[in-house]
Amino acid sequence: MKSMQDEQYKTLGAKTLWIFILSRVHTAGVFLLLTIILFVGGVDGWFANVPGVNVNLTKYAAIGMEASALLFAITFVGTFLVSWLIYINYKFSLGEDSLKIKRGILNKEEVAIPYRQIQDVDIERDLSFQMFGLSRVVILTAGHDDEKGSGDESEGMLPAVDKDLGEWLQSELLRRANVQKVIETK
């Protein structure tokens, strides 16, 4: 049974899982490529047509193909599992006084960013994000270095949200930040 506080938290969206998988699938892709090369070059392929190549080499190619296929399957399942765990444990909530971000699998953390400290909210979209209709929301706060490329280290970052949700979050966070700044100065 979820508490009232947990019900306020929102997930990043279903498309985000695919971005998490694509950003971690490189090792599995190498094993898949190796499997394809060994399959094409296997018993009746390239290796069998090379003069002076004996049958034992093609047997080793078949064994290597099976091993790389197994390694591909293991790494892909592991990649999917890790990506899914990161996805289900990454949540955010717009509270009364702050944006709260929960994240982490083993080392869970909850970051609360008071609206009064928010200086700017950036939306970043690289090519893969544009293809999926996603945005990365980076929240720049007072006291945080404003360097280019620092988005990945920013504590106020939602790595991938739907484009419309990202634009709404940007305007809502800036509105709440300006309201709190105006109230404090009066």
**Blockwise average pLDDT, block size 10, the chain, 186 residues:** 57 87 89 83 59 64 85 94 94 91 91 90 91 92 59 73 92 83 52
Q: Are 38 and 65 in contact (CB under 8 A)?
A: yes
Query: Given this model, what pLDDT does residue 4 score?
Result: 44
Nearest 5°: CA angle at 29, between 131 and 62? 150
Q: Are 158 and 137 in contact (CB under 8 A)?
A: yes
pTM: 0.74
Query: Given this model, what pLDDT does residue 180 score?
Result: 53
Query: Given this model, what pLDDT does residue 149 score?
Result: 47
Query: Given this model, what pLDDT does residue 90 score?
Result: 93
How far apart are alpha carbons 99 and 125 in whole angstroms?
A: 21
How far apart are alpha carbons 28 and 131 in whole angstroms?
A: 22
Query: Given this model, what pLDDT does residue 2 score?
Result: 43
Classified as helix, coil or strand, 27 is helix
Q: Are 107 and 168 in contact (CB under 8 A)?
A: no
